[in-house]
Chains A and B, each alone.
Chain A
Amino acid sequence: MTRNLKQALFSALLVWAVAYPVLGLKLTIVGINLEVHGTSTATLITIAVCSVLMFLRVLFDQQISSAWKSSPNMPVMPAKASNFLTLPTTQRWIIIALIVGALVWPFFGSRGAVDIATLVLIYVMLGLGLNIVVGLAGLLDLGYVGFYAVGAYSYALLSHYYGLSFWICLPIAGLMAATFGFLLGFPVLRLRGDYLAIVTLGFGEIIRLFLRNLTDITGGPNGISNIEKPTFFGLTFERKAAEGLQTFHEYFGLEYNSINKVIFLYLVALFLALFALFVINRLLRMPLGRAWEALREDEIACRALGLNPTIIKLSAFTLGACFAGFAGSFFAARQGLVTPESFTFIESATILAIVVLGGMGSQLGVVLAATVMILLPEMMREFSEYRMLMFGALMVLMMIWRPQGLLPMQRPHMELRK
C-alpha cells in the first residue's frame, strides 16, 4: 500500500510538473519584451483536479483494472470482426467502395474539404511509397522526404526553365527520384537498423540544404513560385488561358468557377494514388515483392537461397523513391510554389508515422492512417497549439491498444488443389 501511495503521489506531482509549465504559464509580448504571466484560476483548478484524479487512479490501480476486466461489455473489438476487416477479400470490397465514393463526393463537397482531401491523397501516395521501403523491405528510412523534394524540384525546375508541362514532367520527376533512391541505396547497402536510419536522415537533410543553398538555380530559401498547374489534355483551369492555350470552361462552354480547378487537382491526385495502390498491390504478389518481405524477415536465409540482397535492397529503395517523386511533382503543381522548408524532417516523420500507424506493410492501413494523420490536425485547428501533444497522446494510445497498427497486413491465403 505504501508503495502504491508513493507511486500515486509521484504521479500527481508529475501531472503538475508537465501541465503547469505548458498550461499554467502564459507568455505575452509587451512591447519588445516577453513576460510570463500566470493563467486564470480555472486552468489551475483543472490541473489540480487532473492531478487528484491521477492520484486516485494510480492508488486504486489494481481495483480499477480488476473492475474493468469483470465488466461484461468492454469496448474492445472482437477478434472476429478485427479478422474480418483485415481479410484480403473484405479489403478488396472496401477498396472498391472507397474508390467509387472518392470519385463522386468532390462534386458535392465544399472547396476546403476537397482541398484537404487532395493533401490526404498526396500523403497516401507518400505513405504507400515508404511502405515499400519500411513496411515490406524492413529498411528504416528517415530521409524519405528527400526523394519527395527531388520530385517536386524536378518538376518546378523543368517547368520554370524549360516550360515543360506537368504530364511530361511527372514521369521525369519519378525517374529522377528513383535515380536518387538508387544512388542512396549504394552506400547504405551494408547498413541496417539504427545506422541505416541515421544515414538516411542525413541524406534527407543534405538534399534540403543543397536546394536551399543552390540559390542561383533553385532560388534558395525563396524557392520557385508560379509553377504551372496540370492541364486537362491541354486545357487549363485558369480564368484566362496563356498564349496558345485554351481554358477548360471556354472549351466546354461553362461558367468559370474556381472550384473546377480544385476538383480537377483532386481527381489527378486520386488517379496517382490509385496508380500507386495498384502497382504496389501487384508487386506484393510478384516474386520481387515476396523477396522484399523475405529480406525483412531474414537476410542470411535469403542469401542461402540464392537471392541477391543487393538487388532486392536497391529495388526497394528505387521503387519507393519513385513514388515519392510522383507525389513530389504533384505537390509542386498543386502548391504552385516549392521551398526547401516544405521538406523538413517533420515531413519524413509524418510519413513514417502514417506507415507505422496504418500497420507495417498494409496498404489499406496506409490509406486510413494518412486520412487520420492529415485530417485530425485540420479538423482541430482551434487546438493547434496542442497539436504535438495530441500527436504524442495518439501514438501512446496506439502503442497500448493496437501496436500492430490500425489495419495490420494479413498474409495472402493461397488456395491449394485438393
Chain B
Amino acid sequence: MSREILKVENLSMRFGGLLAVNGVALSVKEKQVVALIGPNGAGKTTVFNCLTGFYKPSGGSIMLDGEPIEGLPGHKIALKGVVRTFQNVRLFKDMTAVENLLIAQHRHLNTNFLAGLFKTPGFRKSEREAMEFAEYWLDKVNLKAFANRPAGTLAYGQQRRLEIARCMMTRPRILMLDEPAAGLNPKETEDLKALISMLREEHNVTVLLIEHDMKLVMSISDHIVVINQGTPLADGTPEQIRDNPEVIKAYLGEA
C-alpha cells in the first residue's frame, strides 16, 4: 500500500462553548480519494478550515508527510501543497479565467521587481511558461474558449471547474474539494467524476472531498470518513459505510 501523506489525529475545534469538532481522525494515503461525509452542520467544513489553516485547531495534530502543520497560517499550508476549493465558489470574479490561473502560479513565477520592469528574457520566459501551463489546464477543464472572459460571468459549473484548475496551478499534493458537485446537473457531475479520476491517474493528486451526492461519493472514494455533530461516527470503504446502521441512523434519523 502507498505511503500515508496526511494524518490527522484527535482534531478538535472549539468556538467558545461550542465544540464544533471533537476528536476527528483522518488518514489519507497517496493517490487516494477520501470523502468526508456527514449530515448538515456536522463540522465537515470546520475540519477543512482547520486543515488548511483558516482556523487554528484547539487540539490534536495534523501531520503532512510526517511534518506537523497545525496552527500554521493558511498561505504557508497552501505552499506546502495542501490546496482547497470553497463551498461557495471563490474566484477572482472581475479578472479573466486566464488571469485567475496566472495568479495561482505566483510562487512559480519570476517575481523579481527589476526583471518585470525591464521585461528581461528570464521574466518573459517565466510568463510564457505560466501561460502555457494555464492553457494546458484550461484545455483539461474544457474552458479554453472562455479564457478571456471575466470569471464571474461564467456559468456555475464552469466556475467550479475553473476553481479546480486554479488549484492545480499550484501543483498541489493534496487537493481538498468542499462540495464540488453542489449545484451541478447530473451531466456536470459525471464530468466532475471523470475530472477527479483523471487528476488522480494522470497527475498523482491525492483528493480529500466533502460531498453530499452519495452516488458520486460511493463511486469515486477509496475511503470514507463519516462525522456527526463534530464527532467521528464511522470510517471505512464505501461498502462498509453503505451498510453501517449508525450512518443510516444519523442520516435518516431514528426509525
A303 touching B74 by the CB < 8 A rule?
yes
Are A301 and B86 in contact, CB atoms less than 8 angstroms apart?
A: yes
**Least distance between B38 CB and chain A CB atoms (Å):** 22
Chain B residues with CB under 8 Å of A304's CB are: 52, 54, 74, 78, 83-84, 86, 90
Q: Taking the complex as formed, is B119 at the interface, i.e. its CB lies under 8 A from any CB of chain A?
A: yes
B96-104, B192-200, B209-217, B244-252 - interface stretch:
B96-104
Chain B residue nearest to A411 (CB atoms) is B96
Q: Which residue of A lies closest to B152 (CB)?
A: A297
The residue that B78 contacts in the complex, of A288, A303, A414, A416, with Cβ under 8 A, is: A303
- Which residues on A sit within 8 Å (CB–CB) of B74? 303-304
A301 and B111 contact, CB distance less than 8 A? no
The answer to whether the Cβ of A216 comes within 8 Å of any Cβ in the partner chain is: no
Q: Which 8 A-B pairs have the closest CB atoms?
A: A306-B78, A286-B116, A297-B92, A303-B74, A301-B90, A306-B79, A294-B103, A414-B98
Q: Is A69 an interface residue (CB 8 A)?
A: no
Chain A residues 297 to 355 lying within 8 A of chain B, measured CB to CB, are 297-298, 300-309
Q: Find the B residue at minimum CB distance from A279.
A: B117
Q: Does B75 contact A (CB under 8 A)?
A: yes
Instruction: Quote the shortest CB–CB distance from A307 to chain B (angstroms).
Output: 6
Which of B5-13, B39-47, B143-151 contacts the other chain? B143-151
CA distance A300 to B105 in the complex (A): 16
**Contacting pair B116 A283 (CB below 8 A):** yes
Q: List 10 A-B contacts (CB under 8 A).
A: A282-B119, A287-B103, A287-B116, A304-B54, A306-B75, A307-B103, A411-B95, A412-B99, A414-B147, A416-B131
Residues of B within 8 A of A301 (CB): 86, 90-92
Inter-chain contacts of B131 with A (CB < 8 A): 414, 416
Complex: A291 Cα to B73 Cα, angstroms: 18
B61: Cβ under 8 A from any A Cβ: no
The answer, yes or no, to whether B15 is at the interface (CB within 8 Å) is: no
Does A290 reach chain B (CB closer than 8 Å)?
Answer: yes
For residue B56, CB closer than 8 A to chain A, the reply is: no
CB of B65, distance to nearest CB on chain A (Å): 17
Asked if residues A411 and B99 are in contact (CB atoms below 8 Å), the reply is yes
Within 8 A of A (CB), among B18-55: 52-54
CA distance A290 to B91 in the complex (A): 14
Residue numbers of B with Cβ under 8 A of A are 52-54, 73-76, 78-79, 83-84, 86, 90-96, 98-99, 102-107, 109-111, 113, 116-117, 119, 131-132, 135, 138, 144, 147-148, 150, 166-167, 169-170
Given A287-B111, A288-B113, A297-B91, 5 further pairs, Cβ under 8 A? A287-B109, A304-B84, A307-B103, A413-B148, A414-B99
Residues of A within 8 A of B75 (CB): 302-303, 305-309
Give CA–CA (A417, B93) in the complex, Å. Answer: 24
- B93 CB contact (under 8 Å) in A297, A303, A306, A307: A297
Most chain B beta-carbon contacts within 10 A, residue among A279, A293, A302, A417: A302
Q: Classify the interface of chain A: helix, strand, loop or mixed.
A: helix
Name the one of B54, B91, B110 contacting A298, with C-beta atoms under 8 angstroms: B91
Which residues of B are found within 8 Å of A302, using beta-carbon distances?
A: 75, 103
Interface residue count on the A side (C-beta < 8 Å) = 29
Cβ–Cβ < 8 Å partners of A298 in chain B: 90-93
Q: Are A305 and B98 in contact (CB under 8 A)?
A: no
- Chain A neighbourhood of B92, CB < 8 A: 293-294, 297-298, 301
Complex Cα–Cα for A359 and B103 (A):
23
B83 to chain A, nearest CB (A): 7
Cβ of B111 and Cβ of A288 under 8 Å apart? yes
Q: Which residues of A contact B138 (CB under 8 A)?
A: 416
Whole-angstrom CA separation of A303 from B18 in the bound complex = 26
Contact residues, A382-418 vs B (CB, 8 A): 411-414, 416-417
Cβ–Cβ contact A414 & B117, under 8 A:
no
A300-B178 Cα distance, complex, nearest whole Å: 14
CB atoms of B103 and A290 under 8 A apart: yes
Distance in angstroms from B73 CB to nearest chain A CB is: 8
Q: How far is the CA of A285 from the CA of B79 in the complex (A)?
A: 23
Q: Which of A245-297 contact B (CB under 8 A)?
A: 279, 282-283, 285-288, 290-291, 293-294, 297
Chain B residues with Cβ under 8 A from A288's Cβ?
111, 113, 116
A305: contacting residue among B110, B150, B166, CB under 8 A: B166
Residue of A with least CB distance to B107: A306
A123 to chain B: closest CB distance in Å? 24
Closest to A303 in B: B74
The answer for the CA separation of A116 and B53 in the assembled complex, in Å, is 53
What chain A residues lie within 8 Å of B90 (beta carbons)? 298, 300-301, 304
A290 touches B102 (CB 8 A): yes
Residues on the A chain within 8 Å of B107, using CB: 306
Given the complex of chains A and B, what is the CA–CA distance between A285 and B99 in angstroms? 10
A308: B residues at CB distance < 8 A: 75
